[in-house]
Amino acid sequence: MYKRNQYKIWGFALLYMAYSSCKIPAIVQKNENKSTPNTYANSGSDTTNLAAIKWKDYFKDQYLTNLIDTALQNNQELNITLQEIEIARSEVRARKGELLPSVGIRAGAGLEKVGRYTSQGAGDATTEIEPGKEMPDPVPDFMAGLYANWEVDVWHKLRNAKKAAYTRYLSSVEGKNFVVTNLVAEIANSYYELLALDNQLAMVRKNIALQSNALEVVKLQKEAARVTELAVRKFEAEVLSSKSLEYQIAQQITETENKINFLLGRYPQHIARNVNSFDSVADQFPVGIPSQLLANRPDIKQAELDLIASKLDVKAAKAQFYPSFGITGALGFQAFNPSYLVKFPESMLYSIAGDIAAPLINKNAIKASYFAANAKQTQAVYQYERTILNAYIEVANQMASIGNLKKTYDLKDKQVQALNQSINISNDLFKSARADYLEVLMTQRDALEAKLELIETKKQQLNAMVKIYQALGGGWN
């Protein structure tokens, strides 16, 4: 009767545990939207894509590719990211280890003195280990053995945690690829900025030479009483202004070189470059179709993997509501005298036990973990969709920028040609006293500004060439 009641109690306990574990709070999960437009604006359905070109083939300048090669070896941010990959790989190993039994070795020694008038003390006093040899008092204790415990992963809690860790490892790899893409683009943009500054510096120095010649002419005219001292001072001030601009550009060149050196992980030194690369702007930029972004852009693939990992986290958190099953065991030898440890099987000890545990009351911590995991999963969905949208907009912006910059450059080029002609005309008119010196100065100033803007527009074209390649997902391969 007693055993029957005991079985009933255990049965009711197991049923209540099963019921309480199955009663899981309901949540609303959000599914991601992977759809993209079929084509980009003003583009066809050609699948030829810049992103398929390796960066060594995309950038033709050998000096630039050498810089990128050095950066991929020495850049500190990239090396920090590589260590994050190692951290993620170690997490995978840790999660994989949780699936296996935990086995350890244990050894110890102790001394115990119990009261004579206790059950244990009385028993020890009347016990003979061997004829005529009583138990020692106090009793030493020596033990050596193996112990193990294992959680049986019935609900795939540990498996899902391991899959989540592995997915995050893959995500860290894509994160590294994204860092590489940005690094390649940043070096290329800085390199073209350096070439632009070189051209601007050469233009300013050429302009200083022209202004200096004009200043000498004005000085001669002043001696001939054709102009006043005011004209001389105005021309002199313009020369000084251009010389000041020369030093400003020289400082920008130094800072840009040092920026590149920093990206390369080295101390300041001269950056070798090919000045002829400044005029090499590609005419065609095949962008493919928007759906290719999902496969080409590392940040999109990283966001997708983070989303998969967050879904696995929800499953692992959900399994916390279910009963857990564990098995523990031990095997070894124990005796009060080290010489008895080798006596088999008298000194042998072993144990094996199984247990089941499930949360019954006050499951707030488990619920909180479950709701937090779901919130992170929803957050990952929005982040994934946001990354896709951002990638599409980046490509669309750069496509528009390439077209508009080409038109801007053509107009700026015509403006420079017109102002160059204006300089010659104003000089001739000034020499014949048919134009004021201020007109000459303003024409020279406008021409210099237009030439500098033309160089800046060319730099923006080169930057757009880099950015469209980056936006499409090129640069990491």
CATH topology of domain 30-99+157-323+367-471: Outer membrane efflux proteins (OEP) (1.20.1600)
Backbone angles phi, psi at 444, to 5 degrees: -65, -40
CA distance 448 to 442: 10
CA distance 477 to 465: 17
Query: Tokens for 52?
Result: 């398929």
CA distance 168 to 302: 9
CA distance 64 to 277: 10
Calculate helix-pair angle for 437-471, 364-431, nearest 10 degrees: 150
| Residue 2 pLDDT | 47
Query: Tokens for 153?
Result: 């992963």
Residuewise pLDDT in 10s, the chain (477 residues): 545 555 555 555 555 555 554 567 777 678 888 889 999 987 778 889 999 999 999 999 999 999 999 999 999 999 999 999 999 999 999 988 888 888 889 888 888 888 777 877 777 777 777 776 777 778 788 888 898 888 888 888 889 999 999 999 999 999 999 999 999 999 999 999 999 999 999 999 999 998 898 888 888 888 887 788 888 898 899 999 999 999 999 999 999 999 999 999 999 999 999 988 888 777 788 999 999 999 999 999 999 999 999 999 999 988 888 888 889 988 888 887 787 777 777 788 888 888 888 776 668 888 899 999 999 999 999 999 999 999 999 999 999 999 999 999 999 999 999 998 988 888 777 777 776 777 888 888 888 999 999 999 999 999 999 999 999 999 998
End-to-end CA, the chain: 75
Please give the single-letter amino acid code of residue 145.
G
Q: How many CA atoms are closer than 13 Å to the CA of 146, on its beta-carbon side?
A: 7
Nearest to 66 by CA among 197, 198, 260: 260
- The burial class, CB within 10 Å (0-12 / 13-18 / 19+), for 420 is middle
CA distance 200 to 194: 10
| Residue 6 pLDDT | 55
User: Which of 3.40.50.300, 3.40.50.720, 2.20.200.10, 2.30.30.100 is the CATH number of 102-125+133-152+325-357?
Assistant: 2.20.200.10
pTM metric for this prediction: 0.85
Q: Where are the domains of the chain?
A: 30-99+157-323+367-471, 102-125+133-152+325-357
Backbone angles phi, psi at 85, to 5 degrees: -65, -40
CA distance 56 to 62: 9
| Residue 118 pLDDT | 83
| Residue 361 pLDDT | 67
Nearest to 298 by CA among 183, 172, 394, 463: 172
- The burial class, CB within 10 Å (0-12 / 13-18 / 19+), for 309 is buried
CA distance 182 to 469: 11
CB 321 within 8 A of CB 335: no
- Which residue matches tokens 């001269």? 270
